[in-house]
Structure 1
Amino acid sequence: MKHIVILVLLLIPAIVFASQTSTVCHNELAAWINENRPLAIVDIQTPAGFKEHNYTDSIPTGNNPLRLKKTAEKLKSSKGRIVVVSKSGGNDAINARETLAQAGVKRSRILILEGGMEAASSKASCDCCKPASKQTTLK
């Protein structure tokens, strides 16, 4: 019985960390863009949402699995991080991340924009930093 309890206690952190989704806040993403770091931004917003707010040079796919898979084919051989941008950074972004990973993009390269475009366009406070005072990467 003692061994089972120890095993369960050892497995809990592995399960918790495996289920976490990697995110990036809009302030950090803006810094990466301004530093010209290698990255690709996959935007899964609706066409109207994309038209209203988007990052320069982002790839608009909508939340369309076929378009995401085609985009994944191009991104597999690219370098740097891939950031999935949705309206709010919710389940649709998680599903898009999963679609990209299943299409062959390394899961460790894919991040989700924390709070989505709603947070980025309003320059909301992030868990990791203060609101952006200047953000030139949004159109």
Structure 2
Amino acid sequence: MLFLLSLSAAIAGAAPATPATIDLNPQDRYALLAGLGARLDGRYIVSGITDADVECAASHVCATPDMVEDGRARASARQVGSYRQLLDSVTIDDQKPVAIVAFRTAKRIAPGRIRFVASVFERDIGRWSNKVMEVGTSPNLVPVSLRSQLRTYRDQ
């Protein structure tokens, strides 16, 4: 329980923006979370996306605080005093996460396109930065479940 409190406090205090709870359809949620794992080149801890634990469990690319609490992602019981220690305390499929991602906002910018802003702490950089991401739909892609893709990931 002490670990979960540390995790929640770390993610909630990640950036000056207000934390979000963003609802997405399963296709866009999968595109966002799986695409982000590819852009980060590793597993990560995520907050702010409703039902993210469903996609994280299926893709094995991320973990949510709820997944840590109920044991679906392993965590050491030690006190966490920094974001780097937080990343070192969690294991997703026997791998350490490379980042913490706290989603802040989502806005539909055109039909089939959603822009997200997230605060990201990357292990290699060692600091928080705000990122802008866009998920877009490509109607010609088959199978249907892959029609949405993470199209951009850049600094805000």
> Could you say which structure has the higher strand fraction?
2
> Could you say which structure has the higher helix fraction?
1
Q: Which has the higher contact order (CA 8 A, sep 6+)?
A: 1
The structure having more radius of gyration, on CA atoms, is: 1
Q: TM-score scaled to structure 1, two decimals? A: 0.31
Q: TM-score scaled to structure 2, two decimals? A: 0.29
